[in-house]
Structure 1
Amino acid sequence: MPVLTSESSRGSRGKGAGLGLALVSALAFGGSGVAAKPLIEAGLDPLHVVWLRVTGAAVVMLPLAVRHRALPRRRPALLAGFGLLAVAGVQACYFAALSRIPVGVALLVEYLAPALVLGWVRFVQRRPVTRAAALGVVLAAGGLACVVEVWSGLGFDALGLLFALGAACCQVGYFVLSDQGSDAGDQAPDPLGVIAYGLLVGAVVLTFVARPWAMDWPVLAGPAHLNGTTVPALVLLAWIVLVATVAAYTTGVLSVRRLSPQVAGVVACLEAVIATVLAWVLLGEHLSAPQVFGGAVVLVGAFTAQSATPAKGSPDPVAAGGAERELSARGTAA
């Protein structure tokens, strides 16, 4: 006798899978800094590391781009937007901000993206959002302020803050564009194809920004030092390309399609916590008491946001405790 599965149980499994993918994505993205820092200390410019990261990932994903070669004709705006915003824009704006303001301030401003995603969903897409998601954003932002110890190096530089805000806006583009076409069924653009072409576009744009022809290429053939341990530079680069970029973008886009941009955005705040913990373990950068407390607050914020928000396609109302229904039509163009 066949066992019938309820819509709610299927939605719960989809939400659980989406949350798992979001956590894997945050872990993969969070490990990029730990692998990139030894390469930078070995003599590579930060923008050159970013170019190697994106270009290497684009080469790895090239077979998928060939497989989905019809995608540029069907969704050119989506692919161009994903490459310009989600790939090149986030990286270029963030590193430009780092050149003018402290790392902690830049990271905190960039991770205001979940709040901006919430505003996009509520006021542009005109979809109701949960109170839990809003509370999660507030908790995550407060926790991030502790994780990056924003008070230790505050410096007001208008252009630097503008670059950091640009990185946050580009990260909003990453979450919103990752969600495009998720309700189109069989007509939805394949997420792996979107990522492949987005990386190709990002690599082309970053080539003009980073100017790799001026890079110190011999550094890649030598060693790098990871907290006193000698590691081949190419091994660290392989980690950045395969794990921190290919795997991170793939699981991230898939998680957004199973959750929602606002919830996936809050869970992505864990990236800063993971990056700090990995730096503590692998680079010997010790955590202070405020950082430990901030990490716990970010975890609470992420859990609060995802726990009360129905999975996509759920018939439950999106606004917790309200009588509003989730709008079935998104009406959002790439």
Structure 2
Amino acid sequence: MSSALPTPTGPSAGPATGPTGAAAGPATGPVIPGATPSAALHPGRDRAVGLAIGLAAAAAFATSGPFVKPLLQAGWTPGGAIVVRLLIGAALLSVPTALALRGRFASVRANWRWILVFGLTGVAAPSTLYFLAVERLPVAVALLIEYTGPLLLIAWSWLRTRRMPAPGVLVGASLAMLGLVGVLDVTGAVALDPVGLVFAVCSALGNAAYFALSARPLTIPPLAMAGLGMWVGAVAVVLLGLVGLLPVAMVAGDVPMLGGEVPVWVPLLVIGVLPTAVAYGLSVISVRKLGERVASFVALAEVLFAVVLAWLLLREAPTLVQWLGGAAVVAGVALVRRFAEVSPDDLPPAAAHAEPVDEAAGRTPAARVTASADRPSPAPRR
């Protein structure tokens, strides 16, 4: 979930977002005068521009797996790659984070626990697990397994609340699971590493944690949550490397790519810039112009881009069965996002009631709403 960064969002003037990217209920606060989304002013033009930007964001997110695999083949460990990636991403987001927090530093103190949780479970864990999976599996297989994360939340909500999901959700979940059988190619035409599959499933759990965090209203700006969460994730993987729990090996020299060799800094720069700062910034603009739900569907194009990039860069061509299975997974997840709704009762208590913004943060209760168009789309962030 390629690792662009998820950001739990603040209270919204539009629909709240559930774990699957669907509307989760009514607005939680007043609309700020003059905060009309740009899509309301120029709907046709903004939708076309937003679609183009959303596709560009999906393509940027998709670069993570295909560009990290050559590093792994050259002797880098997933730990070494993720350390460099998160440090570059955190550095790039530092200035935007500081700007987003001007006059609102009290929001960091109010939400520090969720910043830590987000950094560990929404950034460090899924990013590292995805790279560990990509080391052993084709990029498309690892990505599609990770994309089943929202289905885990649906199952958890069903078990916890004893309420059956909507029929459309059940159809989508069934279609996605059937597609996953195709992706795994149980016919045996493709041998898949079982350890890699375990890592991919664990990355799906991290993806589910991302969606759960995205459903929790917080009072910190989304961009600041992304930047601070990135730093938490970077520090976490560095510490794991220092104590020996995460093997960190970095190899100088050229790496195999595009049928030849390229300097090692090329893939490092790509995974540190494109799937993080660039992709995140583009996704914010896309959601502003398209709205959350439409942007979340556009984000599914990440799978297609990842498959194409893996084929061009790594010569990883899925079998026909895997193509059909992948299409079913994407269609199933799209159905789940379309029909799933999460009520406040399905979420932890703090998710149903956002805590007021500290007056020291420069926000009064009447002005604490962040427009839903300011949120990044709920795509996996690896």
Same fold (TM over 0.5): yes
The Cα offsets for residues 66-119 of structure 1, whole Å up to 9 and x where unpaired, read as 3324432121122111101011111334455678x8668866654431112224
Partner in structure 2 of residue 300 of structure 1: 331
Residue 283 in 1 paired to residue 314 in 2? yes
In structure 1, distance between residues paired with 2:314 and 2:173: 29
Alignment partner, residue 113 of structure 2: 77
Output the amino acid matched with 1:56: I
**When the two structures are superposed, what TM-score results if normalisation uses the length of structure 2?**
0.62
Partners of 1:116 and 1:252 lie apart in 2 by 24
* 1:195–1:250 contact (8 Å) kept in structure 2: no
Q: Give 1:177's aligned residue.
A: 213
Q: Secondary structure at the match of 1:230?
A: strand
TM-score (norm 1): 0.70
> In 1, are the aligned partners of 2:185 and 2:322 still within 8 Å (CA)?
yes
How far did 1:241 drift?
A: 1.2
Distance 1:21 1:236, change over 3 A: same
Q: Are residues 1:168 and 2:168 paired?
A: no
Kindly tell me: are residues 307 and 329 of structure 1, through their superposed partners in 2, closer, same or farther at Cα, counting changes over 3 Å?
closer
User: CA 1:154/1:197 → structure 2, altered by over 3 Å: closer, same or farther?
Assistant: same
Distance in 2 of aligned mates of 1:46 and 1:238: 16
1 CA distance for matches of 2:51 and 2:337?
8
Pairwise mapping of residues 1-334 of structure 1 onto structure 2 (< 5 A)? 25-67=57-99, 68=101, 69-95=105-131, 110-120=146-156, 130-149=166-185, 151=188, 152-153=190-191, 164-181=200-217, 188-211=219-242, 215-216=249-250, 219=252, 222-249=253-280, 259=292, 264=296, 271-307=302-338, 318=341, 332-333=349-350
What's the secondary structure of 2:350's corresponding residue?
A: coil
Percent identical pairs in the alignment equals 32
Offset of 1:202 from its aligned partner? 0.1
Q: Distance between the aligned counterparts of 1:45 and 1:179, measured in 2? A: 33
Gaps of 5+ in 1: 1-8, 183-187, 310-317, 320-325
Q: Is the 8 A contact 1:108 1:141 kept in 2?
A: no
Structure 2 distance, partners of 1:216, 1:236, is 13
Q: CA deviation at 1:53?
A: 0.9
Structure 1 residues 205-242: Cα deviation after superposition (integer angstroms, max 9, x where no partner): 0002234996435x2xx332213143332122121111
- The answer to whether the Cα contact below 8 Å between 1:44 and 1:216 also exists between their aligned partners in 2 is yes
Instruction: Judge conservation of contact 1:113–1:172 (CA < 8 Å) in 2.
Output: yes
- Equivalenced residues, count: 301
SS in 2 for 1:51: helix
- Mapped to 2, the partners of 1:128 and 1:253 lie a distance apart of 33
SS of corresponding position for 1:181? coil
C-alpha change, 1:34 and 1:216, in structure 2 (3 Å) is: same
Letter of the 2:226 partner, please give it: I
